[in-house]
Chains A and B, each alone.
Chain A
Amino acid sequence: MITNYLAAHHLRLADLAGIAAVRFVIFSTVWFLLTGSEMKSWLVGIPAVFFAVGLSLYLSPPGCGKLSFVGGCFFIPFFLRQSFLSGIDVMRRTLSPQRLINPGLVSYTTTLPPGAPLIFFVNTISLLPGTLSADLQGNTVTIHTIDQDLPIWTNIQNLEGRIAVLFNQHEPKENNL
C-alpha cells in the first residue's frame, strides 16, 4: 500500500516520513491547544492525531503546493489589512442612506496551478474588499463584485501574485486579459 502511494506521488520513503512527522507535530499542537495540559486527553488524542495524519496524506497528498515561510510573512499582514478594509467597506455600504452598490459578475482566468494554491485563491477572493468568488470551472473563477467601479482586476492580480509567492510558484506572470 505504501509502495503504491510512494510511486503515485513520486516520493521516497524518507520524504514521506519527514512530511508525516511535520503533520504529526502540527496536529498534535492543535490537539494540545484544544484540550490543554490534561494528560489523560492524549488517550484519545494520540489515535486522533494518527488518524488525522493518515487522512490528510490521503486527501491532500504531498507536493500540491509547498508554503514558503517568507511568503507567509508577507501574506499575513496583507491579508489582515485587506480583510479589515473589506469589513469597513461593507459597513460603509450598509450604513449609507443611499444604495452604494453597483454589483456585477466578472470572469477571471488564473495561472495558479490546481490544488491548494487555486483553492486558497478562490477562498481568499471572498474575504477581499468588494469581491466574492461565485464559481470555479477549471481555472476560471466567476467573481461577483459589489461595486463595478472598484479596481477589481488590479486587486485580483495582486492577490494572485501574492499567492504565487506564498506557494513558491516562481514562473513569470503573464497578463491574461
Chain B
Amino acid sequence: MRILNDIGLLFIGIGMLFFISGTIGLLRFPDIYTRLHAMTKADNVGLGLLVLGLSCQADSWQTVARLIFIWILVLIASSASCHLVARSALQKNIQPWSRP
C-alpha cells in the first residue's frame, strides 16, 4: 500500500495549503466578516483534505469512519460558530467593510 500512502501524503499537503490560505486571509482581509469567510471555508476544505489523506493511510475502516465523523462535527461547529460571531458583530453595529 505504498502508493495509497503517497496519495494520502499528497492530499495532506494540499490540505495544508488551504489552512495556510485561510490564515493569510485572516491577516489580510479588512474586517471581521471577510475574515470569517477565510477562516471557515478554507479550514473546512483543509480539514476535509486532511481527513481524506489520513483515510488513505488508515489501517481500518473504523478509523476512516471516525475521521469522517470528526470532519462532520467540525463542519457543524464551525458553521454554527461562524454564524454566531457574524450575528454578534452585526448586533454590535460593526459595519462591514465595503469598497471605497
Contacts and interface: CB of A to CB of B under 8 A. Distances in A.
Interface of A: 30, 33-34, 36, 80, 83-84, 86-91, 93-95, 99, 101-105, 122-124, 126-127, 129-130, 132-136, 142, 144, 146
8 contacts: A87-B45, A90-B42, A91-B17, A101-B99, A123-B83, A127-B44, A132-B82, A132-B83
B41 to A, nearest CB: 4
Per DSSP, chain B at the interface is helix
B86 A134 contact: yes
Interface in B48-77: 48, 62, 65-66, 69, 75-76
A127 B79 CA distance: 7
A30 B70 CA distance: 11
Interface size class of B (residues with CB under 8 A): 35 or more
Nearest to B66: A33
The interface centre, meaning the residue of A30, A103, A142 with most chain B CB atoms within 10 A of its CB, is A103
B16 to A, nearest CB: 12
B13 interface: no
B18 to A, nearest CB: 5
A16 B34 CA distance: 44
